[in-house]
Amino acid sequence: MSYLVGRSEETARLLALLHEARESRGGAVVLLGEAGIGKSALLDHLAKASSGFLVMRASGAEFETELPYSALHQLCAPVLEHLDALPGRHRTALRIAFGMQTGTPDPFLAGAATLGLLVEHDRPLLCLIDDAQWLDHASARALAFAARRIGAERVALVFAARTGTGELARLPTVDVEPLHEAEARALLARETPASLDARVRDRILAEARGNPLALVELPRTAGLAGLAGGFDLPAPRAAERSFRARLAVLPPETRLLLTVAAAEPLGDPGLLWPAAKLLGVEDAAAEEAALVEFGTRVRFSHPLARSAVYHAATAAERRRAHAALAEVSDPVADPDRVAWHRGLAGAGPDEEVAAALTRSADRARARGGQAAAAAFLERAAALTLDPGLRSERVLAAVEAKLSVGDFGVAAELLSTLDSADPRVDLLRGRISFARFRGGDRPTDHLLRAAARLAERAPARARECYVDAIEMATLTGGLDAVIAAARTAPRNPEPPTSADLILDGVVALVVEGHRAAATLLRPVVADGTDPAWSRWPTLGYLLAVELWDIDAMRGIATTVTASGRELGSFHMLPIGLAMLATVTAHEGDLGAATAMISEEEAIAAATGAAPLVYPRIHLAGLRGRRAEAEELFAGVGPHMTLSVQYATAVLANGLADYPAALRAAESAVATGDLGLAGLALPELVEAAVRCREPEIARAALATLTERAGAGGQPWGRGTATYARALVDDDEDAYRQAVSLLDSTAFGIAGARAHLVYGEWLRRQGRRRDARAELRLAHDRLSALGAEAFAARAAAELRATGEQTRARAASAADTLTVHEVHIARLVAAGATSKEVAAKLFLSPRTVDAHLRNIFRKLGITSRRQLRDLPAIR
pLDDT for 671? 84
| HSE of 848, CA atoms in CB hemisphere, 13 A | 24
- Cα 855 to chain centroid distance, Å, stands at 31
Give residue 498's pLDDT band: very low, low, confident or very high (50, 70, 90).
very high
Number of Cβ within 10 Å of residue 534's Cβ equals 17
Contact 650, 623 (CB under 8 A): yes
- How many whole angstroms separate alpha carbon 225 and alpha carbon 218? 11
Q: Do you find a cis peptide bond into 234, omega within 30 degrees of 0?
A: no
Give residue 230's pLDDT band: very low, low, confident or very high (50, 70, 90).
very low
Give residue 4's pLDDT band: very low, low, confident or very high (50, 70, 90).
confident
Is residue 428 within a helix (H) or strand (E), and if so which, with residue range? helix 422-434
- Could you tell me the sign of the dihedral formed by the alpha carbons of 388, 393, 394, 398, in that order? positive
Provide the residue type at 243 as one letter: F
Give residue 232's pLDDT band: very low, low, confident or very high (50, 70, 90).
very low
Give residue 551's pLDDT band: very low, low, confident or very high (50, 70, 90).
very high
Identify the residue with better confidence: 676 or 870: 676
> What CATH fold (topology level) applies to the domain 711-806?
1.25.40
pLDDT for 770? 93
Mean pLDDT of the chain: 83
Q: Which CATH superfamily is domain 8-175 in?
A: P-loop containing nucleotide triphosphate hydrolases (3.40.50.300)
Q: Looking at residues 490-504, what average pLDDT do you find?
A: 87
Number of Cβ within 10 Å of residue 76's Cβ equals 25
pLDDT for 229? 37
Give me the helix-helix angle, 387-403 and 422-434, nearest 10°.
20
Question: Is the predicted pLDDT of residue 503 greater than 70, yes or no?
Answer: yes
Q: Decide if 8-175 and 711-806 have a common fold.
A: no
- What lies within 8 Å, CB to CB, of 849 at 6+ separation is 821, 825, 831, 861
Contact 227, 196 (CB under 8 A): yes
Give residue 658's pLDDT band: very low, low, confident or very high (50, 70, 90).
very high
Least confident of 211-225, 465-479, 580-594, 733-747: 211-225
Question: Is the predicted pLDDT of residue 681 greater than 90, yes or no?
Answer: yes
Distances in Å between the alpha carbon of 278 and those of 260, 281, 299, 417, 624?
11, 8, 21, 40, 75
pLDDT for 66? 63
pLDDT for 316? 92
Identify the residue with better confidence: 481 or 830: 481
Question: Is the predicted pLDDT of residue 234 greater than 60, yes or no?
Answer: no
- What lies within 8 Å, CB to CB, of 369 at 6+ separation is 67, 68, 69, 136, 137, 138
Q: Which of 213-222, 320-329, 667-676 has the highest mean pLDDT?
A: 320-329
Question: Is the predicted pLDDT of residue 807 greater than 50, yes or no?
Answer: no
Q: Looking at residues 197-226, what average pLDDT do you find?
A: 62
591-610 residue pLDDT tens: 888 888 888 877 776 666 78
Give residue 734's pLDDT band: very low, low, confident or very high (50, 70, 90).
very high
Q: Looking at residues 438-460, what average pLDDT do you find?
A: 83
408-428 residue pLDDT tens: 777 888 888 877 788 888 888
Least confident of 227-241, 304-318, 762-776: 227-241
Q: Looking at residues 379-402, what average pLDDT do you find?
A: 86
Q: Looking at residues 784-804, what average pLDDT do you find?
A: 88
Domain 811-865 is found in CATH 1.10.10.10: yes
Is residue 292 within a helix (H) or strand (E), and if so which, with residue range? strand 292-293
pLDDT for 773? 94
Contact 418, 424 (CB under 8 A): yes
Identify the residue with better confidence: 756 or 456: 756
- Could you tell me the sign of the dihedral formed by the alpha carbons of 618, 624, 629, 634, in that order? negative
pLDDT for 228? 39
Provide the residue type at 95 as one letter: R
Identify the residue with better confidence: 382 or 204: 382
- How many whole angstroms separate alpha carbon 728 and alpha carbon 722? 10
Question: Is the predicted pLDDT of residue 225 greater than 60, yes or no?
Answer: no
Rounded to 10 degrees, what is the CA torsion of 114, 115, 120, 123? Answer: 110
Identify the bridge partners of residue 126 per DSSP, sorted by sequence position.
Answer: 55, 156
Distances in Å between the alpha carbon of 638 and those of 61, 527, 814?
39, 27, 28
Domain assignments of the chain as residue spans, ordered by start = 8-175, 181-233, 237-312, 526-611, 612-706, 711-806, 811-865
pLDDT for 236? 38
Provide the residue type at 606 as one letter: T
Least confident of 6-20, 209-223, 780-794: 209-223
Rounded to 10 degrees, what is the CA torsion of 474, 479, 484, 488? Answer: 80
Question: Is the predicted pLDDT of residue 380 greater than 80, yes or no?
Answer: yes
Give residue 226's pLDDT band: very low, low, confident or very high (50, 70, 90).
very low
Q: Looking at residues 6-15, what average pLDDT do you find?
A: 89
pLDDT for 810? 53
Question: Is the predicted pLDDT of residue 847 greater than 50, yes or no?
Answer: yes
Least confident of 97-106, 279-288, 508-517: 97-106
The pLDDT > 70 percentage for the chain reads 87
Distances in Å between the alpha carbon of 710 and those of 191, 550, 747?
82, 12, 20
- How many whole angstroms separate alpha carbon 361 and alpha carbon 354? 10
pLDDT for 180? 84
Q: Which of 435-444, 641-650, 669-678 has the highest mean pLDDT?
A: 641-650
